C-alpha cells in the first residue's frame, strides 16, 4: 500500500492513547488508560493490558481519562474481563456513568464490570 | 386233433407255444414252457379268463385282441405284455399268433409263440435311461476308440458341431472336428491321458459349416477291465465367454488409453446445435479441422434419423427433464459414409440457470458396431440351417426329376447334391433299392402332376444302409393359370423306436463304461426325487461309495447356506416335471469347498409315466472365479468410463470459469457426489487457507479421506481433499486415488493459471490506485467526491486519472485525464502526468496554461504518445470557473433546480508532445448548490451507441441525483450509465458541489484506513463544537461516525485495496443531525461470525433515533438520525 508522506507523519505522531501501569508490592496493580481507543490502536492497547496482568493480582483499571472509546475498545475491555477466571486475577474497572468510557460500556451492556469508586 | 407242439429246446424254458384251435375264443392249448411262463403248473389247463387274469390290466386289451382274432386273420404285429405270476414275480412276454392252414383241408387254426423278454425289457429301460442321460447332458459327449475313430456322438454334439451321429460314427475325430489346439496343449493332453488322467483346456474348434468356436474340452480315458479302450471327450461352447472377456480386455485397454491421453472427442455445442469449441481428438474423429467444425451444426455431419433422435434428447436436457444422456449415433464422413459413435452429453448452465452450452464427449464405436452386425447375420444363417435339419424338402419337375433338395435328407443318406439332383426321385439312392417303393413313387408323381396331393409312408435308405420311415407327401406347385409347373416332395421322419433300441442295445456296454468314465457327476433319482444311482466320477469326486446313493447323500454334501434354495428348486422341478438347473457349494471329503452346477431332465417310461430325474453336475469353481474376474473387469470398465467423463467434465467446466475462487468452488462441487461426499481445496499459508469447500450433507466424521497435492505453480502448493461420510459408500480404491491425482494435477494447472492472472491483475490495480490520489481536497464551501472503476477481472487497467488540488490562491483545481492505451505502461504514464499537473498548477495562471505546460512535459520526457485532459479552476468564493479541455469530453454543470449545462468552450487538440504553445480557455459562473461533473470517456462510450446518447443519459442521471452526497453520486453515476453492460474501459468521475451554506454541512471523503480515523474525529469534533452541541451529543455523534467508518474499513474493502469512505452530516430543520456514511465496496460478512465483534452496530443504533443500512452494487450507505439530548446551547 502507498506510504505517502502524510501517512508516515500520522504514524509517527503522538500516540492516541497512553497506558500507565503502577504495580504495588502487595500485588495490587493500577492501570490507567488515557486518550482515544479506536480501530487503529485497539490491538496495541490490548497487548499492553495483557502484559500488565498476572495471576493472583488485583487489577484496578482506571478508564476515567479515556476521551474516545468505541466498539473496538469495548471488545478489549470485555476480553480482559473474560480472562479473569481463567487466569486467576481480580479486575475492577473504574469508569463513572458520566465519563466517556462509562457511558459506552453501559450502552454496550457491560455495566456489571464497573466498580463504583 | 391239433398237431403236437414242437419240442422245446432245453435251454429255453422261457419260450412256449400255444395252439388256439380253429374256433375264436376257445381256451388255448399251452406247451409246458408257455405254462411256466404264465406261472401255471404243468398240470393246469387254464381257461381264456384265467390266462388273461395273469396279464397286467394295462396290457390286457392287447392280449384279448390277439386271442379273439379270427383264425384265418393274417399274422399281425407281436404284442408285448406284462404277466404277473402266482408267486408275485413279473415277467415281460412277447406273444405272436400266426394262421396255420390245416393240411387236411379243414378250418385254419392259429399257433402262437410266447417268449420271455423280461431281460431285454430291463436292458432296454437301462439303455433308454443311459441314452436319455447322455442326451440330457448340455455338453457334447464324444467317445473315440484308441485309433481316434468316433464310436459315440450325443445329441448335443450334433447341435454343437453340426454333424449328425450318422455322419461321423466310424470317422476319425480329428477329421470331423479339426481343432486348433496348440502344440503345448496337445502334448499336455497326451501326457495326461497316458497317465490315465483327465485333461482340460480351451481351444478353437471348427464346425461342419466351417465356422469356428471356442470349446472348453475335458478329455478322459475310458477303461474296460483295466485296459484303456478309448477316450471320452466332453466339450462346451465358450465362445461367448471368451469373446466377452476379449471385448472387455480391449475396451479396458481402450479406456485406459482414453483416460491417459484424454483422447475422447470433446465438443462444446451451443443450445441450437452449433459447435463452439472442439478438441483435437474430435477433429481427428470427424476428419474435419477445428475451423471447419466451429459454427457448423452437428446435424450437418450426422445421419438425419440420428440427428432427430439427438435433437429430441437435447430438448429434454434443455428443459431440465434429464441431466445427461448417451446416444449411439452415426456421423457422416466427408464422402457420406456413416461411422458409429457413442455420445455422452451434458449441459452447462449459466449462474442464472439458463442453458449455456452442451459438453459432448464422443467415442468411436464403429468397429464394435460392425462386429455386432456381422454376428447377427451369421446367427440368422445358423438358425435357418438348424430349422431345416429335421425335414425333407425338395423341388421336382413334373416328370419327377429332382431339382433342389435341402441338406437334411442328404446328410441322413450320406449323400451329396450331385448324387440326387437331375435324377428322377425314384432313382435316388434313398429308394433305388426297392422296385416296389419306386413304383409307388412313380404312381404318386403321376397323380400329383394331375393336381392331386399324394401322401403315404415310405421307407428311406440312410447312410450305412440303415432304414428309416418317413411320412411323405408330394404336392403340385401351380402357376397363376392353374397349370402344374413343379412338384414339391416333403417328409418327416417317423422311424420306429425299435431300430433305435437295437442300435442302443449294441452299445449298451459301451454306455455303461462311458457313464462311469464321464468326467461329469451323473446322478439319477426316482419319481420322489430320491437318489438312485450315481456314477463312478461322482463317487470319486465326493469319496463316497455307490451304495450311499440311496440316502440323503446330496443333503450331506451341500453347503448349508445354499442347500435350501437348491433343493427347493429341485423339488419344484420334480413337482412340475420340468428341467432343472441350479448351482450350489458342496464340501468334498477333505472339507474343500467347491461350486457345482447341476442340470436335470425328467425321464418318462414309454407310457409317459414320470420315473424321476436324470442329472449331471459339473464343478464350476474355476468358471465362477472367471465370472467373478469378468464382473470385476466390467466394473472396472464402468468406473474407467466414469472417471474419463468426470475428468473431461472437470477440465471443461473449470476452463470456462475465470478466477481462482470460482474455479476452486466449481471443482469441489463437481467432485461431490460423483467421487466423494465432501471435498475441500486448501492452500496452506494463503489467506484464507480454505479456498473452497463442498461440505457433506451428512453429519459426522468422514470414514475415508483421500488427498492429492495441487501444484498451483510458483511456491504455492495446495491440497485437494475428499472424504466419504455415507457409511453405505465403499471406501476409496486405487482407481479413485489415481483419478484424484489426475484431477488434482490438471486442476492445479488451471488454478495456477487463474492465480497468476489474478495476481497480475491485482498488481496492476494496486499500482493504479497508488498512482491516484489517496485524498481529495477539503474546503468548507466545496464538497468533492471522486471514483475510479477498473475493468473487473482483466489485466486491462487503464490510464485514467483525476486529481483535486488546493492552489496557493485558495482556488481549487480539478483535473481529469486519460492516457491512451492500457496496462502498466499507460498506468505509469498516467501517474507521471497527474504528478506533473500537481507541480504545474500552482505555478501557472489558468487551466489553458496548465495544459500547455503538461504538453511540454510530455514532449520533454516522452511520457506518452497521446493523452486527453481537462482542467477546471474554481474560485469557491465567487463561483468563477475557468476551464480548458485538450481533446477531452466536456464537463457538465447541474444547477440546484436540475437544469444542466455542458461546458463546451476552451477546446484544443489532445496532448501529444508537439502541440501549439497557446491553448484557449473559457469561463463559466457556478451558482451556489450547483454541481460540477468531470469524467473520462469510459463513462459514456458504449459499443453500438452514439456518443450523444451517452451524454444525454449522463445529463439525465446527474440531474436526478444532484442532491446526493457527492461521493455517493460519483459511484451511482457509474452504476446508472453502466446499466447492465460490462465495463469495457476504466472510468473516473469527479463531482464537486459548491455548497449554498457551507457551514450547515460537514462533508469529508477519506481513504478507508484506520489511521485516518483520529484526524476525522478531530475535524468533526471541531465542527460539532462550533455548532454549540452539548458534550454528550458531540460524543454520540463521534461514536456513530466512528462505528460506521470502522465498519466500512473492516468489511467493505475486505480482501481489496482500500477505497474511500464519504461522511456527510447535515442539520435538519428540527435541529437533529442526519448522518450519512457511504463506501464503494462490497459488504462481506465475516465467514465465521466472531461473537467478540459485531458490537458496533448495536452501539450505533443505541445513540440514534433511526438507523438504516443499505448495500448495493454501488456500495453500502448508512443513514442515521441522531437525537439531541442537550439541544443547542
User: For residue A7, what pLDDT is reported?
Assistant: 31
Q: Please indicate if any CB of chain B lies within 8 Å of the CB of A1.
A: yes
User: Could you tell me which chain A residue has the CA closest to the CA of B1039?
Assistant: A70
Q: How wide is the angle at C-alpha A99 spanned by C-alphas B1009 and A115, nearest 5°?
A: 115
CB pairs under 8 A between A and B: 70
Q: Give A39's contacts in chain B (Cβ within 8 Å).
A: 1010, 1013, 1046, 1049-1050
The more confident residue out of B141 and B14 is: B141
Pick from A33-37, B68-72, B816-820, B833-837: least confident: B68-72
Q: Which residues of B564-600 are buried (b: 16+ CB within 10 A; e: fewer)?
A: eebbebbeebbeeeeebebbbbbeeeeeeebbbbbbb
Q: Please indicate if any CB of chain A lies within 8 Å of the CB of B101.
A: no
Confidence class for position A70, pLDDT limits 50, 70, 90: very high
φ, ψ (nearest 5 deg) of residue A53? -105, 145
- When pLDDT is averaged across residues B68-89 and rounded to a whole number, the result is 75
Question: Are the beta carbons of A38 and B1014 separated by less than 8 Å?
Answer: yes
- When pLDDT is averaged across residues B1113-1119 and rounded to a whole number, the result is 84
Question: Are the beta carbons of A38 and B1042 separated by less than 8 Å?
Answer: yes
Nearest one of B1087, B1013, B1095 to B1054, comparing CA atoms? B1087
Q: Give pLDDT tens digits for B387-442.
A: 343 457 778 888 999 987 877 788 888 888 888 989 999 999 999 888 989 999 99
- When pLDDT is averaged across residues A49-76 and rounded to a whole number, the result is 89
Confidence class for position B261, pLDDT limits 50, 70, 90: very low
Strand B521-525 relative to strand B484-493: parallel, antiparallel, unpaired? unpaired
The more confident residue out of B110 and A114 is: A114
Q: What is the pTM of this model?
A: 0.36
Q: Please indicate if any CB of chain B lies within 8 Å of the CB of A44.
A: no
Question: Are the beta carbons of B774 and A2 separated by less than 8 Å?
Answer: yes
Question: Are the beta carbons of B1103 and A39 separated by less than 8 Å?
Answer: no
CA distance B1053 to chain A (A): 13
B12: its cell numbers = 429255453
Nearest to B1014 among A2, A4, A36 (CB): A36
Place of cell 452530516: B1065
Test mutation, A71, A75, A82, chain B, max B CBs within 10 A = A71
| Whole-number percent of chain B with pLDDT over 90 | 13
Q: Give A2's contacts in chain B (Cβ within 8 Å).
A: 769-770, 774
Helix/strand/coil for A66: strand
Tell me the Ramachandran region of residue B320: left when phi exceeds 0, alpha when psi lies from -120 to 50, beta otherwise: left
- When pLDDT is averaged across residues A42-52 and rounded to a whole number, the result is 89
Highest averaged pLDDT of the listed ranges B373-382, B871-880, B908-917, B1020-1029: B871-880
Residues B882 and B901: their CA atoms lie apart, in Å, by 15
Helix/strand/coil for B138: coil
Nearest one of B658, B771, B1116 to A2, comparing CA atoms? B771
Q: Give B1058's contacts in chain A (Cβ within 8 Å).
A: 1
Nearest one of B593, B927, B960, B940 to B781, comparing CA atoms? B927
Q: Please indicate if any CB of chain A lies within 8 Å of the CB of B1010.
A: yes
User: For residue B443, what pLDDT is reported?
Assistant: 92
Is the per-residue pLDDT at B241 higher than 70? no
Nearest to A71 among B774, B1057, B1099 (CB): B1099
User: For residue B71, what pLDDT is reported?
Assistant: 63
Residues B403 and B952: their CA atoms lie apart, in Å, by 100
Is the per-residue pLDDT at B514 higher than 80? no
The more confident residue out of B170 and B301 is: B301
User: For residue B1022, what pLDDT is reported?
Assistant: 77
Torsion of CA B338, B342, B348, B354, to 10 degrees: 60
- When pLDDT is averaged across residues A1-14 and rounded to a whole number, the result is 37
Q: Give pLDDT tens digits for B1049-1069.
A: 888 776 666 778 888 888 876
Q: How many CB atoms lie within 10 A of CB B664?
A: 29
Identify whether the C-beta of residue B422 lies closer than 8 Å to the C-beta of residue B404: no
Q: Give pLDDT tens digits for B706-738.
A: 888 887 766 667 888 888 888 888 888 888 888
Identify whether the C-beta of residue B747 lies closer than 8 Å to the C-beta of residue B718: no
Q: Give B1017's contacts in chain A (Cβ within 8 Å).
A: 36, 38, 68
User: For residue B851, what pLDDT is reported?
Assistant: 93
Q: What ipTM describes this predicted complex?
A: 0.87
Q: Give pLDDT tens digits for B174-212.
A: 888 877 777 777 778 777 777 777 777 778 888 888 888
Identify whether the C-beta of residue B846 lies closer than 8 Å to the C-beta of residue B784: no
Q: Please indicate if any CB of chain B lies within 8 Å of the CB of A90.
A: no
User: Could you tell me which chain B residue has the CA closest to the CA of A43?
Assistant: B1010
- When pLDDT is averaged across residues B348-362 and rounded to a whole number, the result is 82
Q: What is the mean pLDDT of chain B?
A: 79
User: Could you tell me which chain A residue has the CA closest to the CA of B1097?
Assistant: A71
User: For residue B105, what pLDDT is reported?
Assistant: 58
φ, ψ (nearest 5 deg) of residue B128? -60, -45
Residues B870 and B537: their CA atoms lie apart, in Å, by 109
Edge-first strand order for the sheet with B1001-1007 is B1001-1007, B1060-1067, B1073-1079, B1115-1122, B1104-1112
Q: Which residues of A48-59 are buried (b: 16+ CB within 10 A; e: fewer)?
A: bbeebbeeebeb
Is the per-residue pLDDT at B1080 higher than 50? yes
Is the per-residue pLDDT at B1094 higher than 80? no
Question: Are the beta carbons of B1039 and A104 separated by less than 8 Å?
Answer: yes
CA distance A85 to chain B (A): 18
Q: Give pLDDT tens digits for B262-312.
A: 446 778 889 988 988 887 778 878 888 888 888 889 888 999 999 999 999
Identify whether the C-beta of residue B198 lies closer than 8 Å to the C-beta of residue B219: yes
- When pLDDT is averaged across residues B360-375 and rounded to a whole number, the result is 70
User: For residue B513, what pLDDT is reported?
Assistant: 58
Question: Are the beta carbons of B1043 and A71 separated by less than 8 Å?
Answer: yes
Q: How many CB atoms lie within 10 A of CB B46?
A: 17
Q: Please indicate if any CB of chain B lies within 8 Å of the CB of A83.
A: no
The DSSP secondary-structure symbol of B59 reads G
CA B305 from chain centre, in angstroms, equals 23
Question: Are the beta carbons of B1043 and A70 separated by less than 8 Å?
Answer: yes
Q: Give B1043's contacts in chain A (Cβ within 8 Å).
A: 70-71
Confidence class for position B101, pLDDT limits 50, 70, 90: low
User: For residue A31, what pLDDT is reported?
Assistant: 92
Place of cell 501529444: B912
Residues B827 and B801: their CA atoms lie apart, in Å, by 9
Q: Please indicate if any CB of chain B lies within 8 Å of the CB of A78.
A: yes
DSSP assignment of B794-850? SS--EEEEEEEEE-TTS-EEEEEEEEEEEHHHHHHHHHHHHHHHHHHGGGSSSHHHH
Confidence class for position B509, pLDDT limits 50, 70, 90: very low
For helices A100-107 and A71-87, angle between their N-to-C axes, nearest 10 degrees: 80
User: For residue B814, what pLDDT is reported?
Assistant: 96
CA B468 from chain centre, in angstroms, equals 56
Highest averaged pLDDT of the listed ranges B43-47, B186-190, B381-385, B802-806: B802-806
Is the per-residue pLDDT at B498 higher than 60? no
| Whole-number percent of chain B with pLDDT over 70 | 81
Amino acid at each position: 500500500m502507498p506510504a505517502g508522506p502524510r501517512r508516515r507523519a500520522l504514524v509517527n505522531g503522538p500516540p492516541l492513547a497512553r497506558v500507565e501501569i503502577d504495580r504495588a508490592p502487595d500485588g495490587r496493580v493500577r492501570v490507567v488508560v488515557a486518550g482515544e481507543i479506536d480501530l487503529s490502536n485497539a490491538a496495541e492497547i490490548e497487548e499492553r493490558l495483557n502484559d500488565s496482568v498476572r495471576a493472583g493480582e488485583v487489577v484496578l483499571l482506571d478508564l476515567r481519562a479515556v476521551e474516545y472509546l468505541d466498539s473496538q475498545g469495548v471488545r478489549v475491555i470485555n476480553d480482559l474481563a473474560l480472562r479473569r477466571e481463567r487466569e486467576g486475577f481480580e479486575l475492577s474497572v473504574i469508569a463513572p456513568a458520566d465519563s466517556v468510557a462509562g457511558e459506552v460500556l453501559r450502552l454496550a451492556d457491560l455495566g456489571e464490570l464497573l466498580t463504583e469508586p | 386233433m391239433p398237431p403236437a407242439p414242437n419240442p422245446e429246446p432245453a435251454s429255453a424254458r422261457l419260450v412256449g407255444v400255444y395252439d388256439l384251435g380253429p374256433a375264436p375264443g376257445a381256451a388255448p392249448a399251452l406247451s409246458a414252457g408257455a405254462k411256466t411262463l404264465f406261472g401255471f403248473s404243468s398240470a393246469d389247463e387254464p381257461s381264456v379268463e384265467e390266462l388273461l387274469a395273469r396279464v397286467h390290466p394295462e396290457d390286457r386289451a392287447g392280449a384279448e385282441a390277439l386271442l379273439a382274432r379270427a383264425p384265418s386273420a393274417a399274422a399281425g404285429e407281436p404284442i408285448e405284455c406284462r404277466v404277473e405270476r402266482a408267486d408275485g414275480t413279473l415277467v415281460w412276454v412277447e406273444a405272436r399268433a400266426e394262421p396255420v392252414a390245416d393240411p387236411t383241408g379243414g378250418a385254419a387254426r392259429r399257433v402262437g409263440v410266447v417268449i420271455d423278454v423280461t431281460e431285454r425289457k430291463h436292458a432296454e429301460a437301462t439303455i433308454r435311461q443311459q441314452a436319455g442321460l447322455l442326451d440330457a447332458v448340455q455338453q457334447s459327449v464324444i467317445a473315440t476308440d484308441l485309433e481316434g475313430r468316433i464310436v459315440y456322438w450325443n445329441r448335443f454334439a450334433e447341435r454343437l458341431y453340426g454333424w449328425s451321429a450318422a455322419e461321423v460314427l466310424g470317422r476319425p475325430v480329428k477329421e470331423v472336428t479339426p481343432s486348433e489346439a496348440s502344440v503345448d496343449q496337445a502334448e499336455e493332453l497326451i501326457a495326461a491321458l497316458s497317465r490315465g488322467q483327465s485333461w482340460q483346456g480351451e481351444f478353437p474348434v471348427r464346425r461342419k459349416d466351417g465356422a469356428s468356436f471356442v470349446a472348453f474340452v475335458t478329455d478322459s480315458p475310458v477303461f474296460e477291465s483295466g485296459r484303456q479302450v478309448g477316450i471320452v471327450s466332453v466339450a462346451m461352447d465358450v465362445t461367448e465367454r471368451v469373446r466377452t472377456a476379449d471385448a472387455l480386455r480391449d475396451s479396458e485397454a481402450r479406456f485406459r488409453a482414453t483416460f491417459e491421453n484424454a483422447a475422447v472427442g470433446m465438443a462444446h455445442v451451443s443450445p441450437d446445435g452449433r459447435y463452439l469449441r472442439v478438441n483435437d481428438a474430435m477433429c481427428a474423429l470427424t476428419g474435419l479441422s477445428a475451423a471447419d467444425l466451429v459454427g457448423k451444426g452437428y446435424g450437418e455431419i450426422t445421419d438425419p434419423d440420428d440427428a432427430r433422435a439427438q435433437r429430441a434428447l437435447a430438448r429434454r436436457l434443455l428443459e431440465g427433464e434429464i441431466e445427461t444422456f448417451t446416444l449411439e449415433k452415426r456421423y457422416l464422413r466427408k464422402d457420406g459414409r456413416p461411422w458409429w459413435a457413442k455420445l455422452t452429453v451434458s449441459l452447462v448452465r449459466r449462474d442464472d440457470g439458463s442453458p449455456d452450452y452442451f459438453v459432448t464427449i464422443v467415442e468411436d464405436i464403429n468397429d464394435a458396431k460392425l462386429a455386432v452386425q456381422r454376428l447377427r447375420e451369421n446367427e440368422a444363417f445358423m438358425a435357418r440351417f438348424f430349422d431345416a435339419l429335421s425335414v425333407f424338402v425338395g423341388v421336382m419337375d413334373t416328370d419327377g426329376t429332382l431339382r433342389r433338395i435341402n441338406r437334411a435328407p442328404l446328410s441322413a443318406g450320406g449323400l451329396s447334391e450331385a448324387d440326387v439332383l437331375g435324377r428322377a426321385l425314384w432313382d435316388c439312392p434313398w429308394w433305388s433299392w426297392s422296385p416296389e417303393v419306386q413304383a409307388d413313387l412313380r404312381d404318386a408323381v403321376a397323380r400329383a402332376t394331375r393336381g392331386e396331393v399324394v401322401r403315404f409312408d415310405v421307407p428311406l435308405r440312410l447312410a450305412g444302409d440303415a432304414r428309416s420311415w418317413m411320412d411323405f407327401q408330394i404336392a403340385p406347385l401351380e402357376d397363376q393359370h392353374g397349370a402344374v409347373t413343379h412338384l414339391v416332395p416333403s417328409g418327416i421322419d417317423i422311424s420306429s423306436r425299435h431300430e433305435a433300441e437295437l442300435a442302443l442295445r449294441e452299445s449298451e456296454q459301451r454306455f455303461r463304461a462311458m457313464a462311469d468314465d464321464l468326467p461329469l457327476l451323473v446322478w439319477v433319482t426316482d419319481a420322489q426325487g430320491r437318489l438312485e444311482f450315481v456314477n463312478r466320477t461322482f463317487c470319486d469326486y465326493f469319496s463316497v461309495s455307490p451304495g450311499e446313493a440311496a440316502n440323503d447323500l446330496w443333503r450331506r454334501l451341500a453347503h448349508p447356506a445354499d442347500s435350501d434354495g437348491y433343493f427347493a428348486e429341485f423339488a419344484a422341478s420334480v413337482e412340475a416335471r420340468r428341467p432343472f438347473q441350479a448351482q450350489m457349494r458342496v464340501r468334498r471329503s477333505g472339507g474343500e469347498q467347491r461350486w457345482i452346477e447341476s442340470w436335470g431332465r425328467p425321464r418318462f417310461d414309454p407310457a409317459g409315466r414320470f420315473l424321476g430325474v436324470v442329472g449331471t453336475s459339473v464343478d464350476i469353481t474355476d468358471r465362477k472365479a472367471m465370472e467373478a474376474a469378468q464382473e470385476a473387469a466390467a466394473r472396472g470398465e464402468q468406473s474407467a468410463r466414469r472417471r474419463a467423463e468426470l475428468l473431461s467434465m472437470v477440465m471443461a467446466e473449470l476452463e470456462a470459469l475465470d478466477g481462482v475462487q470460482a474455479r476452486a468452488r466449481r471443482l469441489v462441487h463437481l467432485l461431490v457426489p460423483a467421487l466423494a461426499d465432501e471435498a475441500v481445496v486448501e492452500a496452506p499459508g494463503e489467506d484464507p487457507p480454505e479456498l473452497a469447500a463442498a461440505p457433506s450433507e451428512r453429519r459426522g466424521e468422514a470414514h475415508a479421506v483421500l488427498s492429492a497435492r495441487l501444484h498451483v505453480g510458483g511456491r504455492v502448493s495446495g491440497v485437494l481433499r475428499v472424504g466419504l461420510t455415507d457409511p453405505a459408500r465403499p471406501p476409496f480404491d486405487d482407481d479413485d486415488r489415481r483419478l484424484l491425482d489426475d484431477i488434482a494435477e490438471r486442476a492445479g494447472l488451471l488454478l495456477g493459471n487463474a492465480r497468476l492472472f489474478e495476481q497480475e491483475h491485482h498488481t496492476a490495480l494496486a499500482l493504479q490506485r497508488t498512482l491516484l490520489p489517496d485524498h481529495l481536497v477539503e474546503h468548507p464551501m466545496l464538497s468533492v467526491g471522486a471514483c475510479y472503476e477498473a475493468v473487473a477481472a482483466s489485466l486491462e487497467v487503464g490510464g485514467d486519472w483525476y486529481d483535486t488540488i488546493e492552489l496557493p490562491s485558495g482556488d481549487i483545481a480539478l483535473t481529469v485525464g486519460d492516457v491512451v492505451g492500457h496496462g502498466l505502461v499507460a498506468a505509469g504514464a498516467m501517474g507521471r502526468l497527474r504528478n506533473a499537473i500537481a507541480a504545474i498548477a500552482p505555478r501557472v495562471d489558468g487551466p489553458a496554461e496548465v495544459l500547455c505546460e503538461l504538453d511540454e512535459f510530455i514532449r520533454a520526457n516522452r511520457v506518452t504518445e497521446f493523452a486527453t485532459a481537462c482542467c477546471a479552476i474554481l474560485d469557491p468564493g465567487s463561483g468563477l470557473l475557468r476551464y480548458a479541455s485538450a481533446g477531452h469530453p466536456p464537463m457538465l454543470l447541474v444547477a440546484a433546480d436540475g437544469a444542466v449545462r455542458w461546458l463546451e468552450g476552451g477546446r484544443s487538440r489532445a496532448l501529444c508532445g508537439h502541440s501549439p504553445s497557446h491553448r484557449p480557455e473559457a469561463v463559466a459562473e457556478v451558482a451556489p448548490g450547483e454541481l460540477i461533473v468531470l469524467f473520462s470517456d469510459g463513462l459514456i462510450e458504449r459499443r453500438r451507441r452514439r456518443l450523444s446518447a451517452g451524454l444525454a443519459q449522463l445529463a439525465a442521471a446527474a440531474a436526478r441525483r444532484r442532491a446526493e452526497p457527492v461521493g455517493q453520486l460519483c459511484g451511482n453515476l457509474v452504476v446508472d450509465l453502466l446499466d447492465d453492460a460490462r465495463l469495457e474501459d476504466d472510468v473516473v468521475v469527479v463531482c464537486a458541489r459548491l455548497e449554498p451554506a457551507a457551514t450547515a454541512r460537514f462533508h469529508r471523503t477519506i481513504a478507508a484506513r484506520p489511521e485516518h480515523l483520529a484526524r476525522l474525529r478531530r475535524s468533526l469534533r471541531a465542527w460539532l463544537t462550533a455548532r454549540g452541541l452539548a458534550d454528550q451529543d458531540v460524543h454520540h455523534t463521534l461514536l456513530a461516525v466512528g462505528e460506521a467508518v470502522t465498519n466500512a474499513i473492516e468489511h467493505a474493502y475486505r480482501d481489496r485495496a482500500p477505497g474511500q469512505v464519504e461522511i456527510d452530516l447535515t442539520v435538519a430543520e428540527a435541529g437533529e443531525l442526519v448522518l450519512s456514511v457511504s463506501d464503494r465496496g462490497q459488504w462481506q460478512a465475516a465467514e465465521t461470525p466472531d461473537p467478540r465483534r459485531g458490537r458496533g452496530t448495536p452501539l450505533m443504533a443505541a445513540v440514534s433515533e433511526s438507523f438504516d443500512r443499505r448495500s448495493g452494487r454501488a456500495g453500502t450507505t448508512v443513514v442515521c438520525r441522531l437525537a439531541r439530548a442537550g439541544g443547542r446551547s
